[in-house]
Chains A and B, each alone.
Chain A
Amino acid sequence: DAGITQSPRHKVTETGTPVTLRCHQTENHRYMYWYRQDPGHGLRLIHYSYGVKDTDKGEVSDGYSVSRSKTEDFLLTLESATSSQTSVYFCATQTAWEQFFGPGTRLTVL
């Protein structure tokens, strides 16, 4: 495993509140990714980063923003959470070829 931790592991919040999820890695991997996983949809890419301060959108980026100020940390922010953002969120890092996943954060938006 690539030494990836995610925090928090579980969170319940209310519609309209801001939420930030954190991904921390200890392997100094350049690439980092945020996915969401929903039944019937597999893993869908939200945003990714190819270096400090370098980020790009994935296929489901609406309503999400990211920041990467250090190699080891990649933050995912929901500016105003909606019920459709209830999901399990996974962070991943990538070597030249292989992509490794963190343990996930289960987010419930009421």
Chain B
Amino acid sequence: GENVEQHPSTLSVQEGDSAVIKCTYSDSASNYFPWYKQELGKGPQLIIDIRSNVGEKKDQRIAVTLNKTAKHFSLHITETQPEDSAVYFCAARPTDKLIFGTGTRLQVFP
């Protein structure tokens, strides 16, 4: 079955710097790759997603890239702000179920 690995598990950056979180997946049938942000005590919130027919997608300060050949995708956050501090999860969907990575705790220091 599908396996999603996510790195790093923790990431600390200075406010204004960029942050990059990387995920790899194993099942070439995966065709949808969402990213979620989870704040303390809340449910995961979908922040951006990408489908397998697209290589890159951007939404303001957030971008996601997908390399189908290498089976990896990444989340890029530019000009980080303290409110970006949260746990971020990647996921891949080979069938009708999402398979999640284990999460990255991002801390943005002012």
Contacts and interface: CB of A to CB of B under 8 A. Distances in A.
Interface of A: 31, 33, 40-45, 48, 50, 58, 90, 94, 97-104
Contact of B49 (A58, A98, A103): A98
27 contacts: A31-B96, A33-B97, A41-B102, A42-B89, A42-B100, A43-B44, A43-B89, A43-B100, A44-B100, A45-B97, A45-B98, A48-B96, A58-B97, A90-B43, A90-B44, A94-B96, A97-B32, A97-B49, A98-B34, A98-B46, A99-B34, A99-B46, A101-B43, A101-B45, A102-B43, A103-B43, A104-B43
Contacts, number: 42
Interface residues of B, number: 19
B61 interface: no
